[in-house]
Structure formats: structure tokens, C-alpha cells
């Protein structure tokens, strides 16, 4: 979590999107970084009860003004997100990573980051192959905790 907050601050991210918010633990870390940059996190969670819990947890942490978690499939929940994304964090169902990336990558600004979690603890090879075959992304696997695929959108 601390890694996420540091990346938000280090990049000055204003528009942060999270796919797979669950009960909001990582959202809280992203929002703590956003509180320092004046940014905002828009999260998504497939299970409505978890999305509601995440929003309660954000409010309890005093970060409700910096983040909101939308209920529903991220591809639908974020379809109307119109602003260029500075940082995208993917931590959803592992088989869905490629679809989530394809639905959102064109909204990522040049120089924007994509961080995908659990790439060493799970078979995310389809996602990693997709990221590395794209001409508009450069990626590397970071062996931090369960692995993070770190990618930047090229200009």
C-alpha cells in the first residue's frame, strides 16, 4: 500500500483509477497520496457490498473527499471516465486484467503509469504479453511482494 501512495506523490498524480477496489485498503493508500497531490481516486468494485464497504472505510479514514469506489464491472463503471488518467492500478480478477487494460489504456495520458498487482503470485502471462507487445507501453516486472507489472504510456 505504501508503494502506491509513494507513486501517487512522486508522480504528482491527479487522476487515479483503481480496478478492483475490494473493501478499499489499496484505495485508502492511493487516496492518502491523492490528499497530498490534490488528486482524486476513482475506484471500481464488482461486488456492490464491497464497494459500499470501501466507501465507508474511506470516510472513516477521513479520505472520502479524495476517493470514491463505484459498484460494477470496471469496464462499464469507468466507461464515461473522460479525463486523462495519470495512474491506473489493476488488482481485480486476474483473468480480466487484459480486458481491463484494453478498456482503459487509451484514456491514460502519455507518461501515465499502469501498475498491475500479483503478477508473480498468479499466472498473469496473458496480461504481461499484451503489455509488452504494445508499442505505446514500456513495462518491467518489479519483484515487490507478490509482483507488480509497472508500465508507462509512451508519448
pTM: 0.96
> How confident is the model at residue 129, as a pLDDT?
97
**pLDDT (tens digit, 0 to 9) for every residue of the chain, 155 residues total?**
999 999 999 999 999 999 999 999 999 999 999 999 999 999 999 999 999 999 999 999 999 999 999 999 999 988 889 999 999 999 999 999 999 999 999 999 999 999 999 999 999 999 999 999 999 999 999 999 999 999 999 98
Q: Are 58 and 88 in contact (CB under 8 A)?
A: no
> How confident is the model at residue 155, as a pLDDT?
84
pLDDT in tens, 86-127: 999 999 999 999 999 999 999 999 999 999 999 999 999 999
> How confident is the model at residue 67, as a pLDDT?
98
DSSP per position, 10-66: HHT--EEEEE--TTSHHHHHHHHHHHHHT-EEEEEESSHHHHHHHHHHHHHTT-TTT
> How confident is the model at residue 119, as a pLDDT?
95
Amino acid at each position: 500500500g505504501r508503494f502506491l501512495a509513494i507513486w501517487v506523490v512522486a508522480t504528482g498524480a491527479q487522476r487515479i483509477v483503481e480496478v478492483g477496489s475490494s473493501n478499499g485498503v489499496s484505495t485508502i493508500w492511493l487516496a492518502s497520496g491523492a490528499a497530498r497531490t490534490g488528486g482524486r481516486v476513482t475506484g471500481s468494485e464488482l461486488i456492490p457490498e464491497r464497494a459500499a464497504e470501501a466507501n465507508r472505510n474511506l470516510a472513516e479514514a477521513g479520505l472520502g473527499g479524495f476517493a470514491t469506489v463505484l459498484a460494477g464491472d470496471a469496464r462499464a463503471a469507468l466507461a464515461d471516465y473522460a479525463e486523462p488518467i495519470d495512474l491506473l492500478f489493476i488488482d481485480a480478477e486476474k483473468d480480466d486484467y487484459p480486458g481491463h487494460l484494453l478498456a482503459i489504456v487509451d484514456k491514460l495520458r502519455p507518461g501515465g503509469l499502469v501498475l498491475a498487482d500479483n503478477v508473480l503470485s498468479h499466472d498473469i502471462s496473458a496480461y504481461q504479453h499484451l503489455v509488452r507487445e504494445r508499442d505505446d507501453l514500456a513495462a518491467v516486472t518489479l519483484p515487490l511482494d507478490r509482483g507488480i507489472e509497472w508500465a508507462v504510456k509512451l508519448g
